[in-house]
Amino acid sequence: MLISLKAILDLAESRNIAIGAFNVTTLEGIRALVDAAEELDQPIIMQFANAAHSQLIPLEMIGPIMMQFAERASVPVAVHLDHGANFEEVHRALDLGFTGVMYDGSTLSYEQNAANTRAVVEMAEEYGASVEAEIGAMGREEFASAGESSEQEAIAGTYTDPDQAAKFVRETGVDCLACSFGTVHGIYLKTPHLDIPRVGELRSKTGVPIVMHGGSGISDEDFVRVIDQGVRKINFYTYAVKYAGDAVRQKIGAADGNIFFHDIASWGMESMKETYQKTIRVFSKLN
């Protein structure tokens, strides 16, 4: 069933878990994700990063499919725009019925980011949708698409300042906040070291759920640590599609005779479903 981002985050808060916010770029990814969530009977956020992935599939093509799967799912699903780049993109997602939108003004000045985010909150209110925004830097440009590796490592000087984050939330009225505390998008070249106490401070000073980007490559132990400090939404993409690529390579290597394209799609889907299930289990603290 389709629910708002705010409602799904409230659910996470009541259970002290995080909801996986999985980026989708293919029908196989959408099917794998919904299947995984339904089998585990857990809520999910299905999101599309138009700024990073519009060359793979346009928002207007994948958006209605995401909505249809969310509406028919037996578990709560929020459909979300990831890293919305401007008002026009946010509007397009809201018009499609997305129940959450991220506006990413993190590269702008504080004042400009706050003013634009405030305008997005007003826009989303008209649709009954919820808003995520970001302050601090997380290597946005390096958001890996289709498994391309990222070179950037997080720089402690760009981590989100808890007092500034609290002011930002007061001034904008956002429902949740993406913060920088040691994660980056894409593939880590060095083991990430997360500033865990900062997460707790961000949560208590802002009073809203904290969003962690760059979930791929984080250890299960660190996932649990950040969840216990107040992370309620974890963005995850690169490893799901990387492992699916690895699985397809391995199957092709082992195959005799013809390989049909639908075989490749199924192999990728199976692998993604497995990754989603493992990840959702950790985020939902199952077993």
Task: Fill in the per-residue mask, 6 to 25: x = in contact with ligand 13P (CB under 6 A), - = not in contact.
Answer: -----------------x--
Q: CB-wise, 206 or 216, nearer to ligand 13P?
A: 216
Which residues 134-153 are close enough to bind ligand 13P by CB under 6 A?
A: 143-144
> Least Å distance between CB 209 and ligand 13P?
15
In whole angstroms, the minimum distance from the beta carbon of 263 to ligand 13P comes to 26
Residue 185 interacting with ligand 13P (CB under 6 A): yes
Which is closer to ligand 13P, CB of 186 or CB of 268?
186
Catalytically annotated residues: 82
Which residue, 149 or 204, has its beta carbon nearer to ligand 13P? 149
- Among 43, 186, 209, 268, the residue binding ligand 13P under the rule CB under 6 A is 186
Minimum gap (Å) between residue 81 Cβ and ligand 13P: 11
Which is nearer to ligand 13P, 107 or 204 (by Cβ)?
A: 107
CB 130 within 8 A of CB 117: no
Q: Which is nearer to ligand 13P, 92 or 185 (CB)?
A: 185
- Can residue 84 be called a binding residue for ligand 13P (CB under 6 A)? no
Question: Please, which of residues 195-254 interact with ligand 13P by CB under 6 A?
Answer: 213-216, 235-238
Of 127, 58, 126, nearest to 99 (Cα)? 127
C-beta of 173: minimal distance to ligand 13P in Å?
A: 22
Q: 249, 234, 244: which is closest to 273 by C-alpha?
A: 244
Burial of 152 (0-12, 13-18, 19+ CB in 10 A): middle
Angstrom distance (rounded) from CA 278 to CA 213: 18
Given the complex with ligand 13P, which of 41 and 151 has the nearer CB atom?
Answer: 151
Mapping DSSP onto H, E and C, the string for the chain reads CECCHHHHHHHHHHHCCCEEEEECCCHHHHHHHHHHHHHHCCCEEEEECHHHHCCCCCHHHHHHHHHHHHHHCCCCEEEEEEEECCHHHHHHHHHHCCCEEEECCCCCCHHHHHHHHHHHHHHHHCCCCEEEEEECCCCHHHCCCCCCCCCCCCCHHHCCCHHHHHHHHHHHCCCEEEECCCCCCCCCCCCCCCCHHHHHHHHHHHCCCEEECCCCCCCHHHHHHHHHCCEEEEEECHHHHHHHHHHHHHHHHHCCCCCCHHHHHHHHHHHHHHHHHHHHHHHCCCC
Residues 44-63: x/- map of binding to ligand 13P (CB under 6 A)? Answer: -----x--------------
Instruction: State the number of binding residues for ligand 13P (CB under 6 A).
Output: 16
Beta carbon of residue 46, minimum distance to ligand 13P (angstroms, whole number): 12
- Closest separation between CB of residue 180 and ligand 13P, Å? 11
Question: Is position 29 an interface residue for ligand 13P (rule: CB under 6 A)?
Answer: no
Residues that bind ligand 13P (CB under 6 A): 23, 49, 82-83, 143-144, 185-186, 213-216, 235-238
